[in-house]
């Protein structure tokens, strides 16, 4: 699960990471009010930031033609104007795809003077099976590009999870960023806080880009997390009620939300052949075999080990609401489940949804003969496959790819 920048900054602040002061809002009036408060407290510049679960906002363009999802403003009236131009409009960035994302929330924050931009992230390093912190002097830009063109500019520190990040490691990274004097201490405190956020929140990734040297009104330089991205490890979400509440359903694919209501594991893909399968491993191999025979899966859909008639019906409805689906492959192995129960569910679902697309069904396992009989006697024009390969070839042929 992803969360918004303003939420990520709330979490970071709890662990002592310095972030610019700011508040979230959803109307231009509220944006103006927050800005007035910030100016009254001595900020000389305020930033209005579109809150969407995608990066590249600064260089993004709204479908209305308005340029930039991150705007600096000198007056509260300007904040009002910029907020009005962003709210309710669709922002397209490098990461959103051409369809873009609707902006319905803004972060209005103090915009300190930035002297230098760095990059910092914590994630799990699969090679060493340990957390790592990565920093780079090349902040504010596409880190993938830095990794490709000048990998030596990314410095990594492996962390022993049993003891956590050590202060010397944080100072070492601060040194790698070329920091001197008081800034080393300021950076070390911030980096330790970033690691602590990652660890305590069970995050999959915490990314600060840019991490900035900012200049305070007194001329003093400190470090601040100007942008923040946190994604959660969903398997650990159950133990973070406060973070569960940060879920923004408006940012998630509607079909995936509908699927999760029925206990279905559904991920939309780009192809034309929908698959309905029980078990994640079987779902993966079904997608592989569709591809092997020249087709393209339209989704990953695991109805689970004990799929009920209602779940199968819900699954069909979800599949059918995707306009790119041209055919369906049902591949069920009745290990625990009775194939006849599934067959009955398929027949009911096809009748209820008035399915017109080609449907190939492959059943195997427990009580399979009764299941096949139910399908054969249903009067529906479905195609049966004897093996996975047979079924996959039949569905690929039926959709005519
Ligand atoms: P992203 O484009 O979605 O990654 O959004 P960011 O929050 O990283 O903003 C993009 C760029 O806008 C940053 O790299 C900064 O250069 C600039 N920016 C963002 N916030 C501030 C701020 O508070 N002060 C200043 N001076 N610039 C900012
Ligand atoms: Mn950024």
Per-residue pLDDT of the chain (401 residues; tens, 9 = 90+): 999 999 999 999 999 999 999 999 999 999 999 999 999 999 999 999 999 999 999 999 999 999 999 999 999 999 999 999 999 999 999 998 888 999 999 999 999 999 999 999 999 999 999 999 999 999 987 888 888 899 999 999 999 999 999 999 999 999 999 999 999 999 999 999 999 999 999 999 999 999 999 998 888 999 999 999 999 998 999 999 999 999 998 888 788 888 888 889 899 888 999 999 988 899 999 999 999 999 999 999 998 876 677 888 889 889 988 889 999 999 998 887 788 888 888 898 888 888 889 999 999 999 999 999 999 999 888 999 999 999 999 999 999 86
Q: Is residue 37 within 6 Å of ligand 1 at its C-beta?
A: no
Strands 22-25 vs 106-110: parallel, antiparallel or unpaired: antiparallel
Q: Exactly one of 119, 138, 195, 266 is catalytic; which is it?
A: 119
Q: Is 266 exposed, middle or buried (0-12, 13-18, 19+ CB in 10 A)?
A: buried
Rg over alpha carbons for the chain, rounded to the nearest Å, is 26
Q: Does residue 207 have an active-site annotation?
A: yes
Q: How far apart are CA 34 and CA 100, in angstroms?
A: 27
324 token code pair: 């790119």
Could you count the other beta carbons within 10 Å of the beta carbon of residue 355? 18
Q: Note the CATH number of domain 253-399.
A: 3.40.50.261
Q: Note the CATH number of domain 113-243.
A: 3.30.470.20
Q: Name the residue of 69, 73, 139, 227 to mutate for ligand 1: max ligand atoms within 8 A of Cβ.
A: 227
Q: Name the residue of 58, 72, 103 to mutate for ligand 1: max ligand atoms within 8 A of Cβ.
A: 58
CA 273 to ligand 1 centroid distance, Å: 41
Q: Does residue 168 have an active-site annotation?
A: no
CA 245, 251, 252, 258: dihedral to nearest 10 degrees?
Answer: 70
**Please, where are the H alpha helices in 15-136?**
28-40, 76-86
Per the CB < 8 A criterion, the answer to whether 230 and 8 are in contact is yes
- pLDDT at position 216, please? 87
Q: Is residue 226 within 6 Å of ligand 1 at its C-beta?
A: yes
| 20-110 CATH pick, 3.40.50.2020, 1.25.40.10, 3.30.1490.20, 1.10.1060.10 | 3.30.1490.20
Taking Cα atoms as reference points, which of 348, 325, 208 lies closest to residue 271?
Answer: 325
Q: Is residue 58 within 6 Å of ligand 1 at its C-beta?
A: yes
Q: How far apart are CA 49 and CA 227, in angstroms?
A: 10
Ligand 1, closest atom to CA 112?
24
- pLDDT at position 162, please? 96
Q: Is residue 20 within 6 Å of ligand 1 at its C-beta?
A: yes
Question: Is this model's pTM higher than 0.85 or not?
Answer: no
Ranges in the chain annotated CATH 3.30.1490.20: 20-110
- pLDDT at position 115, please? 96
CA 251 to ligand 1 centroid distance, Å: 21
340 token code pair: 């006849």
CA 228 to ligand 2 centroid distance, Å: 7
Ranges in the chain annotated CATH 3.40.50.261: 253-399
Q: Exactly one of 6, 157, 207, 266 is catalytic; which is it?
A: 207
- Phi and psi torsions of 113, nearest 5°: -70, 125
Ligand 1, closest atom to CA 111?
23
Compute CA distances 144 → 19, 229, 283, whole Å. 24, 15, 31
Q: How far apart are CA 32 and CA 106, in angstroms?
A: 11
Per the CB < 8 A criterion, the answer to whether 349 and 316 are in contact is yes
Q: How far apart are CA 401 and CA 392, in angstroms?
A: 12
CA 271 to ligand 1 centroid distance, Å: 36
């Amino acid at each position: 699960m992803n969360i918004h920048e303003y939420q990520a900054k709330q979490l970071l602040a709890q662990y002592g990471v310095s972030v610019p002061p700011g508040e979230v809002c959803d109307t231009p009036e509220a944006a103006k009010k927050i800005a007035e408060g910030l100016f009254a407290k001595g900020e000389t510049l305020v930033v209005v930031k579109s809150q969407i679960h995608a990066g590249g906002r600064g260089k993004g363009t709204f479908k209305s033609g308005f340029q930039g999802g991150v705007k600096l403003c000198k007056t509260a009236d300007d904040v009002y104007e910029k907020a009005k131009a962003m709210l309710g409009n669709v922002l397209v960035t490098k990461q959103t795809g051409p369809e873009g994302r609707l902006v319905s929330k803004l972060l209005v924050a103090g915009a300190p003077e930035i002297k230098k931009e760095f990059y910092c992230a914590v994630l799990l390093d699969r090679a060493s099976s340990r957390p790592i912190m990565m920093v780079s002097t090349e902040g504010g830009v596409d880190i993938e590009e830095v990794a490709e063109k000048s990998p030596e500019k990314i410095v990594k520190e492996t962390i022993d999870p049993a003891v956590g990040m050590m202060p010397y490691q944080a100072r070492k990274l601060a040194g790698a960023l070329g920091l001197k004097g008081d800034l080393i201490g300021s950076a070390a405190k911030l980096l330790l806080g970033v690691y602590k956020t990652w660890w305590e929140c069970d995050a999959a990734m915490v990314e600060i880009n840019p991490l900035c040297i900012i200049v305070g009104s007194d001329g003093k330089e400190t470090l601040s997390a100007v942008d923040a991205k946190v994604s959660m490890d969903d398997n650990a979400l159950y133990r973070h009620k406060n973070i569960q509440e940060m879920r923004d359903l408006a940012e998630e694919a509607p079909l995936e939300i509908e699927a999760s209501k029925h206990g279905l594991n559904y991920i939309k893909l780009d192809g034309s052949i929908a698959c309905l399968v029980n078990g994640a491993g079987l779902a993966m191999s079904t997608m592989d075999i569709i591809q092997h025979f020249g087709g393209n899966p339209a989704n990953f859909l695991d109805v689970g080990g004990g799929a009920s008639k209602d779940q199968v019906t819900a699954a069909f409805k979800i599949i059918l609401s995707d306009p790119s689906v041209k055919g369906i492959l049902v591949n069920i192995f009745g290990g625990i489940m009775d194939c006849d129960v599934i067959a009955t569910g398929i027949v009911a679902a096809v009748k209820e949804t008035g399915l017109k697309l080609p449907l190939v069904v492959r059943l195997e396992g427990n009580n399979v003969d009764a299941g096949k009989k139910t399908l054969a006697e249903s009067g529906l024009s479905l195609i049966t496959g004897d093996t996975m390969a047979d079924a996959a070839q039949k569905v690929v042929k039926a959709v005519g790819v």
